[in-house]
């Protein structure tokens, strides 16, 4: 009774619709530019790794990946460590202005990054962080910290209060309780929140591009610039695109059972 008639066809069609454009990108990344421009082939007839080799040997290309990973990792660590205590507080206590604060956090998750591009540029230039991974990592906290609070709050609420009380009766201090008992209990929740912080920081381009120029340029910005300079090197562009999909595809596998819950901000 869960499902509907014709479900196999619907699902298969939809999955094909999802995979086809990705397949085309992968297909192009293994072609030479000559083959791409001159003929229309459904698979590479002269498969080549030249595009990938160029990315892995040219520093201006691979440093883009390293820069992106730097700010994404800094941001994930910052967001989770800031959000954990707050999530606990929202889940366990009532305090002055808690509902308003929660709404304010939510509204920041929804705020258009375009609004913040220019002021962030000014702000981080003024404090000397412009063109460092820290600028992007801090800027992405704008939407990732609220997101992490939301997700973790859902998971902390799933831990029965009795566990807190028992721990305090056993003489645990608050920090010790937090690290020794609470964190292990919501480990999967932390994993999910980290995954979502990783993801939203990884996919964002506008702020990352605005806040960097040379030294910390993320891969997404490298892609846009190099392409226009070299006059549309389609194969190279496709290979760079494929390489940006891989980290995401790898981490999905680990959280596949929690994906939906995380997207519901921990509220299913």
**What string marks each residue from 18 to 37 as x (binds other proteins by CB under 8 A) or -?**
xxxxx-xx--x-------xx
Site for other proteins in 195-254 (CB under 8 A): 199, 202-206, 210, 219-220, 223-224, 234, 237-238, 241, 244-245, 248-249, 251-253
Q: Exactly one of 69, 73, 117, 185 binds other proteins (CB under 8 A); which one?
A: 117
How far is residue 157's CA from residue 100's CA, in Å, rounded to a whole number? 19
Side-chain half-sphere exposure of 140, counting CA atoms within 13 A: 32
Whether the CB-CB separation of 206 and 113 falls below 8 Å is answered with yes
Stretch binding other proteins (CB under 8 A), from 59-67, 115-123, 128-136, 180-188: 115-123
Asked whether the beta carbons of 198 and 250 are under 8 A apart, the reply is no
CB of 149 to other proteins, least distance (A): 6
* Residue 214 DSSP symbol: S
Q: How far apart are CA 111 and CA 51, in angstroms?
A: 38
Tell me: does residue 147 bind other proteins (CB under 8 A): no
Least distance to other proteins from the beta carbon of 100, Å? 11
135 binds other proteins (CB under 8 A): no
Q: Which of 139, 190, 192, 197 binds other proteins (CB under 8 A)?
A: 139
Distances in whole angstroms, Cα of residue 81 to Cα of each of 35, 73, 76, 176: 49, 12, 9, 15
User: Considering only residues 51-90, where is the footprint of other proteins by CB under 8 A?
Assistant: 78, 82-83, 85-86, 88-90
Among 48, 63, 73, 113, binds other proteins (CB under 8 A): 113
Radius of gyration, alpha carbons of the chain: 22
Q: Is 179 in the site for other proteins (CB under 8 A)?
A: no
Minimum gap (Å) between residue 139 Cβ and other proteins: 7
| Residue 6 φ then ψ, to 5° | 75, 15
């Amino acid at each position: 009774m869960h499902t509907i008639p014709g479900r196999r066809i619907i699902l298969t069609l939809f999955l094909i619709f999802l995979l086809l454009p990705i397949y085309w990108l992968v297909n192009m990344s293994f072609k030479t530019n000559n083959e791409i421009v001159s003929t229309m082939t459904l698979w590479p007839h002269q498969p080549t790794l030249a595009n990938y080799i160029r990315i892995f040997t040219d520093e201006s290309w691979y440093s883009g990946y390293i820069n992106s990973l730097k700010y994404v990792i800094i941001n994930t660590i910052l967001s989770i460590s800031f959000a954990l205590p707050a999530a606990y507080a929202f889940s366990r206590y009532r305090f002055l202005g808690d509902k308003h604060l929660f709404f304010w956090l939510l509204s920041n998750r929804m705020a258009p990054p375009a609004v913040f591009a220019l002021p962030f540029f000014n702000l981080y230039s003024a404090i000397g962080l412009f063109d460092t991974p820290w600028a992007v990592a801090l800027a992405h906290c704008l939407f990732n910290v609220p997101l992490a609070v939301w997700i973790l709050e859902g998971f902390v609420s799933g831990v029965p209060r009795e566990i807190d009380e028992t721990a305090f009766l056993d003489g645990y201090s608050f920090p010790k309780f937090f690290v020794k008992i609470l964190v292990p209990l919501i480990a999967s929740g932390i994993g999910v929140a980290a995954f979502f912080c990783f993801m939203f920081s990884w996919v964002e381009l506008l702020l990352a591009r605005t806040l960097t120029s040379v030294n910390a340029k993320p891969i997404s910005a490298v892609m846009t610039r190099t392409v226009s300079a070299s006059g549309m090197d389609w194969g190279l562009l496709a290979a760079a695109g494929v390489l940006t999909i891989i980290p995401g595809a790898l981490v999905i596998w680990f959280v596949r059972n929690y994906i939906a819950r995380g997207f519901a901000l921990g509220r299913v």
